[in-house]
Amino acid sequence: MLKRIIIGPSYPLRGGISESNHALQNYFEENHQNSKIVSYSLQYPKFLFPGKQQTVDSISSSSSSTFNLINTLNPFSWLKTAYWVINEKPNYVIIRYWHPYFAVCLSLIAKLIRKKSIFIIAWIDNINPHESIPLQKFLTSYFIKSCDAFVVMSKSVKCDLLKYNHTLKNILVCPHPIYNNFGKSIPKIDARKNLGLSNTTLNNNESKYILFFGLIRNYKGLLILLDALAEKNISKLDVKLIIAGEFYDSKEKYCEKINNLGISDRVVLHDFYINNNDVVNYFCASDMVVQPYLAATQSGVSMIAYNFNRPLLLTNVGGLAEYVDHKKNGYLVSPNPKAISSAIEDFYLHNREKPFSDSIKKKKDNYSWKNLAKTFDSLYKL
């Protein structure tokens, strides 16, 4: 039986990367396959972390197979981690990589492990960070040289990876699996009641809600979505926007934009980190999930939407195009207000919600944790 170790954040550290590491570990455990997670005792120093806190209070480390060993500011912990992994004698190690900040730490760990002929697979979210930092190309190149093989979740990330080294061979693309840890769908009327939202308009018709979900950062394009919401065709439809997520960007510029556009009565702002138990309410309360990103690689938010069979409106950037068949299970449009508002208008005028949702249900098998787990195993066996 293969023995695997995943190096990357896990509970109680918050965020999509932690969630997905935990989900992969769950798959291995549920299928009686040997694996453990090595997580961080300190992931970011406080001055580098833009959010309010790095952990989720309501979630503790729920697995006896998770070990919080790595302090990114303490090189002695890197050595300790490497020797711990070596003593475990895994067949291969998966190292999660998404930002050059971690390059030196993870490279040293990987190099020490490789000296004992343990196979290293990098599971890469982004080759290039969403916001540039000094020396990012040098740091990422250093990390790439520490690995034997690579798993990426979109073709665009594979292209970015090959720009660093066009001779790399052991690269496999496997799409981000569907999150299955947020529960099952609930009726829309119940979800809206749980969030304190109105379910009917003055004309006794069901209210229209679209959702922007996740951490609010400049590259996610919320500003152009606000412009789209203010377009006359959307104002006439009385579409409301739920914004659910913590600001990692200046909150003031978004609030000023909302006020200047005169749409404050159609914006529901829940500007805090959404706990796992509440995620179901936001997705099930909405008619469609909108991701107006200006840049992207892949998206965990899209995979939460898939879990709840929610139609998607995505911009045609990075790897997002790989999630949607235009006008079959959602929309793929240019990242500008006119294109986004036209898609929202089409969605409501032509009653697309049910056919789009039905189409998503048929595609779910393409995004399984089983497929991802098999991808890692197959790279090791090449």
Closest C-alpha among 382, 379, 322, 306 to residue 123: 379
Q: Do residues 103 and 140 make contact, with C-beta atoms less than 8 angstroms apart?
A: yes
Tokens of 99: 């930002």
Give the tens place of pLDDT for each residue, 281-315. Answer: 999 999 999 999 998 777 889 999 999 999 999 99
pLDDT for the residue 202: 54
Give the tens place of pLDDT for each residue, 162-193. Answer: 999 888 989 999 999 998 888 899 999 999 99
pLDDT for the residue 177: 93
Residue 146 CB partners (closer than 8 Å, separation 6+)? 106, 107, 110, 111, 114, 120
Tokens of 330: 């959602």
pLDDT at 114 over 80: yes
Q: Report the distance separating Cα 272 and Cα 29, nearest Å.
A: 32
- The one-character DSSP state at 65 is T
pLDDT for the residue 201: 65
Q: Report the distance separating Cα 235 and Cα 229, nearest Å.
A: 7
Q: Give, in order, the Cα–Cα distances in Å from 209 to each of 139, 167, 362.
A: 43, 47, 24
pLDDT for the residue 21: 94
Give the tens place of pLDDT for each residue, 310-331. Answer: 999 999 988 888 888 899 999 9
pLDDT at 277 over 80: yes
Residue 185 CB partners (closer than 8 Å, separation 6+)? 280, 283, 284, 308, 309
pLDDT for the residue 80: 97
Domains and their CATH numbers in the chain: 3-177+367-381 (3.40.50.2000), 188-365 (3.40.50.2000)
Tokens of 339: 């294109």
